Amino acid sequence: MQTMIGIIGGSGVYQIEGLEGASWTRVKTPWGKPSDEVLIGRLDGVPMAFLPRHGRGHVHSPTTVPYRANIDALKRLGCTDVVAVSAVGSLREDFAPGDFVLVDQFIDRTFAREKSFFGTGCVAHVGFAHPTCPRLGKAAAEAARAAGARVHEGATYLAMEGPQFSTLAESRLYRQWGADVIGMTGMPEAKLAREAELCYASIAMVTDYDCWHPDHDAVDVAAVIATLTANAALARATVARLPGLLGRDRADCPHGCDRALTHALMTAPDKRDPELLARLDAVAGRVL
């Protein structure tokens, strides 16, 4: 199998430079329109697809991002590995604004989003104890360090609904739970990537200390934007190093991300809804 890297750009990351033969392509999915067209090209000979999560111009809120359409579009285009970039607040003193954090766990506190490709007519349960791909996360961490970022590997991401930032009581509670960073877009993106049998890594770019920190008080949007701008340049430099680390040829994922559906389908074949099966052609085609 050939590697194809999918990049989901978060706040402040709306483009990727240096793609050879790059063109914006409209992808139709049975889950609606993705956030935007997808920029497709090659970097160091490796196919790459870039999708701005909020759309160019930041038109989607965290709640209205079409997560299912986005993941379906990347899978439909042939992506094998997805690296998601997002802005987060820090819940730890040692995770400072400007730092990059490789997330490996999530606490999902979102409540207004569709979280699965499956449902009535075709029920599936995928394993999600380890939500990100260790192999891909290690490559992303190495790329970020080579780009000059200060990197922390291993962290728990608290996904909140938003769009408002946390109250002080919530921020303190999440710290007690053991969460390390807080953001609004990590879920259900990671869950859907697992259902689509995609290797998924999450690079969280710290912009602020949420509101728990006694020396920083409430989130300052102007300061967040300034940090986002600096982080975006590092994120693009990180992405540029991924093809060289992942290579053109791809073996099966040693952690089984690309086989997540092997034993996940619960509905008997003769009871499956043909209409839903048709919508699952890209994300679950291997097992259907």
Residue corresponding to tokens 């989901």:
8
State yes or no: 53 annotated in a binding site. Answer: yes
d(CA 198, CA 6): 10
State yes or no: 249 annotated in a binding site. Answer: no
Which is the catalytic residue, given 81, 104, 208, 258? 208
Largest CA distance in the chain: 61
State yes or no: 35 annotated in a binding site. Answer: no
State yes or no: 270 annotated in a binding site. Answer: no
Which is the catalytic residue, given 210, 220, 273, 281? 210
Q: Which CA distances in Å does 15 have to 70, 79, 123, 214, 230? A: 16, 18, 36, 35, 14
State yes or no: 150 annotated in a binding site. Answer: no
State yes or no: 185 annotated in a binding site. Answer: yes
DSSP class of 35: S
State yes or no: 94 annotated in a binding site. Answer: no
210 is catalytic: yes
Residues pairing with 159 in the sheet: 108, 183
State yes or no: 23 annotated in a binding site. Answer: no
d(CA 84, CA 59): 18
Q: Which residues are annotated as a binding site for phosphate?
A: 11, 53-54, 86-87, 185
Q: Please report, in range form, the residues annotated as the binding site for substrate.
A: 184, 208-210
Return binding residues. Answer: 11, 53-54, 86-87, 184-185, 208-210
The residues that are catalytic are 208, 210
